[in-house]
Amino acid sequence: MVFVRGLKILAILYRGGDAAKQEPRLLGTVENELGLRSWLESQGHEYIVSDDKEGPNSVFQKQIQDADILITTPFHPGYVTPEVFNKAKNLKVCVTAGVGSDHINLNTAIDKKVQVLEVTGSNVTSVAEHVVMNMLLLVRNFVPAHEMIERGDWDVSQVARNAFDLEGKVIGTIGAGRIGHRVLQRVLPFNPKELVYYDYNPLPEEAAKAVGARRIDTVEELVSQCDVVTVNCPLHEGTRGLINADLLKKFKPGAWLVNTARGAICDKFAVADALKSGQLRGYAGDVWDVQPAPKDHPWRAMKNPLGGGNGMVPHYSGTTLDAQQRYAAGTKSILEKYFQGKEQEPANVIVGIGKWATKAYGQR
Ligand code: NAI
């Protein structure tokens, strides 16, 4: 068996501050280092961990130059652009501690023969639960109702005038992979009018039958038929800006949109405009086109004409404590396999050496 030693491993994680010191299960933080330090050092590797990722003088940009392995999380991504790849002379593997590797330029990874691996499935249930919560809080107009209570007010009609039931609605997902499928499974007991999906990879027949989901051929048709749309596909060339002003016009007036996939799948200004005009009754999710989101990002404070419809939170749906335990363990297992020269779990391979391994990042 091969045992690779002496590698330089760079991890870009978010800073957890006091919370991470008090809660050791916040594994995906700079403070708790995915729980990997003593293990990596005992294997003879160097382990550098930082949250400092922006600009040419950042730890990320400096240390990537001779790192062998990069670990990042989608929650605080080190963006691996073609320029970064050009600097990263020793880079062999990028590991995503979580799911979604769009922060890495995957075409360049193929050219440079850098593998891209992720902990597939590690947080898909966490996200699916968040999606269902988002649907409910938008459809039931929860956020303005709670804010009213905190303000000390009490005006039932003011919130009930924009509150509905999820029951009887047409619910559709763009992308029906691990998360999209789990969302369909979880909303079925709410007795929707119909469940529909758009994905060039159809659900396996049994899975589609079990949730009773109808496949729709185009995204335009899907959005025109749904009361609630949820986005559950990766960000790639075919989905960047997919939900733009033109597509939003094709939504049913007053539809709700939930996006926990990636912020850049939606045009931020078009979404804010659609919410302001009432074309969208609500928008919720946890993903932003740049993370951390700037203070003046339009999604922070956008509202519908009745003053509600905003369910935005920081990127945390896939980083519950349960999920962190799974993606930290999964990252360790990926590294262990790499050090021992063993084959990776096929589902974890996004880009193999010089080739695409997944079918989820667009039709190629
Ligand atoms: P998956 O690979 O199991 O499924 C993705 C599905 O999207 C595939 O079936 C694929 O064919 C489909 N797809 C790709 N392009 C499409 C397009 N143009 N139109 C319709 N469908 C398309 O991935 P999984 O595990 O379901 O995750 C999906 C995405 O969710 C991730 O790529 C990531 O961006 C996001 N995510 C967000 C998290 C969060 O914390 N907010 C955590 C985990 C994932």
* Joined tokens for residue 355: 């080739």
CA–CA separation, 248 and 184 (whole Å): 22
315 flagged as catalytic: yes
CA–CA separation, 149 and 270 (whole Å): 31
| Nearest ligand 1 atom to alpha carbon 181 | 26
Task: Give yes or no for residue 239 CB within 6 A of ligand 1.
Answer: yes
| Nearest ligand 1 atom to alpha carbon 175 | 21
pLDDT of residue 155: 98
Task: Give yes or no for residue 327 CB within 6 A of ligand 1.
Answer: no
Compute the C-alpha angle 88/16/182, nearest 5°: 85
- 22 residue type, one letter: Q
Which residue has its alpha carbon closest to ligand 1 atom 12? Answer: 175
Ligand 1 centroid to 180 CA: how many Å?
8
CA distance from start to end of the chain: 36
C-alpha distance from residue 135 to each of 145, 192, 231 (Å) = 15, 12, 12
pLDDT of residue 364: 84
Choose which residue among 179, 286, 287, 313 to substitute to test ligand 1 binding: the one with the highest number of ligand atoms within 8 A of its C-beta.
Answer: 179
Q: What is the ipTM of this complex?
A: 0.99
Tens-level pLDDT at each residue, the chain (364 residues): 667 889 999 999 999 999 999 999 999 999 999 999 999 999 999 999 999 999 999 999 999 999 999 999 999 999 999 999 999 999 999 999 999 999 999 999 999 999 999 999 999 999 999 999 999 999 999 999 999 999 999 999 999 999 999 999 999 999 999 999 999 999 999 999 999 999 999 999 999 999 999 999 999 999 999 999 999 999 999 999 999 999 999 999 999 999 999 999 999 999 999 999 999 999 999 999 988 999 999 999 999 999 999 999 999 999 999 999 999 999 999 999 999 999 999 999 999 999 999 999 999 8
CA–CA separation, 270 and 247 (whole Å): 10
| 236 annotated among ligand-binding-site residues | yes
CA–CA separation, 335 and 294 (whole Å): 34
CB 308 within 8 A of CB 143: yes
181 flagged as catalytic: no
Residue 184 burial (C-beta neighbours within 10 Å; 0-12, 13-18, 19+): buried
**Angle, helix 178-187 to helix 124-139, in steps of 10 degrees:** 50
Single pTM value for the model: 0.97
262 flagged as catalytic: yes
Ligand 1 centroid to 260 CA: how many Å?
10
**Given the residues 291, 304, 310, 324, the one annotated as active site:** 291
pLDDT of residue 338: 97
CA–CA separation, 135 and 345 (whole Å): 33
Task: Give yes or no for residue 360 CB within 6 A of ligand 1.
Answer: yes
Question: What is the β-pairing status of strands 310-312 and 93-96?
Answer: unpaired
